[in-house]
Amino acid sequence: MAIEFLPIAILFVLAIALAVFIVFLGSIFGPKRYINTKMMPYESGMTPIGPGTRRMNVRFYLIAVLFILFDIEVIFFLPWAVVFRSLGLFALIEMLVFIGILLVGYVYAWKKGALEWE
């Protein structure tokens, strides 16, 4: 069994327990006053504009797709970084090729204005 991951499991359990505990404390000690303003959805302090379920702009789609692609790229960094010292220069070149190809895509996306909002 993957015993070496026990610390991570303990961390998760502690984090959840702490969150539950704090909410619990708040519900015991906090005063309970129900005001209309307090019942509004919290939107970083300002008064919410429009319903929360309105349609989002289609431009978010491109952002999400680009996010996935770069996320997958980053996933490949981890195994490389772990063995980098033992594999040395050759692995570095391989990774540079990998990044280089994706960098072409990045430059293309930038130049095409895919990263601009307007």
State the minimum distance, in angstroms, from the CB of residue 65 to another protein: 4
In the complex with another protein, which residue's Cβ is closer, 35 or 75? 75
Cα 78 to chain centroid distance, Å, stands at 16
Whole-angstrom distance, CA of residue 41 vs CA of residue 46: 10
- Kindly list the residues in this chain that would bind another protein in the complex (CB under 8 A): 1-2, 5, 53-58, 60-69, 71-76, 78-83, 86-87, 90-91, 94, 97-99, 101-102, 104-105, 107-109, 111-114
In the complex with another protein, which residue's Cβ is closer, 32 or 54? 54
In the complex with another protein, which residue's Cβ is closer, 28 or 78? 78
